[in-house]
Amino acid sequence: MAYAIVLYFDENSEYPIYDVLDKLGEKGLSPSIHKGSIRPHMTLAIYDSINCSECEDEIKRFCEKPEILNIQADHFGIFPHETSVIFIAPAPTNELMNFQKKIHQILEGNVGEAWEMYQPGKWVPHCTLARDINKKDLSAALEICIQMKLPLDLRITQIGVVEFEPITPLFEVNLTED
């Protein structure tokens, strides 16, 4: 099992993302995401193991200070693997990058090995729209995804921890209001 630290959006931010996920699911292009086992999100970190109760306490303490984050997804991207990932992404602002780095710092000592692509300095902030897309379906999936109107305002209101696979939400903590 692995554990992901994720940022969740408010409902208004999720609507256009769910619209794309539904269309992809109807075409059978990204059924793993369409199953709805996790809300639209941005993953900050993935670890091989965590001390869940300690991490929850650290995240709760951390969330007493940070305010809700407002970001703007302004472009689409693809991680081209054997099966590709299509995503929307914000510009990597200092505020967002520092937020991700701070999460890694506060959890240090309560987590196992961090996955390399999610380590500070290597992380590409993104919200996955489609994953496990084979080469023959990539253009059809991309055609659906690019119907989403960008820029898309995303209001980040919660930090959560999920265990996977299968995806099992463990806890969510609200960020504070202004």
pLDDT-above-70 percentage for the chain = 96
For residues 52 and 171, give the distance between their C-alpha atoms in angstroms, rounded to a whole number: 9
For residues 156 and 63, give the distance between their C-alpha atoms in angstroms, rounded to a whole number: 12
Boundaries of every domain in the chain:
2-174
What value does the mean pLDDT take over residues 149-154? 98
Contacts of 47 (CB under 8 A, 6+ apart): 2, 3, 5, 107, 111, 112, 113, 114, 115
- pLDDT per residue over 81-134, tens digit each? 899 999 999 999 999 999 999 999 999 999 999 999 999 999 999 999 999 999
Geometric angle at alpha carbon 157, from 155 and 160, rounded to 5°: 130
What is the SS3 string spanning 8-73?
EECHHHHHHHHHHHHHHHHCCCCHHHHCCCCCCEEEEEEECCECHHHHHHHHHHHCCCCECEEEEE
Q: The whole model's pTM is what? A: 0.94
Q: What is the CATH number of domain 2-174?
A: 3.90.1140.10
SS3 149: coil
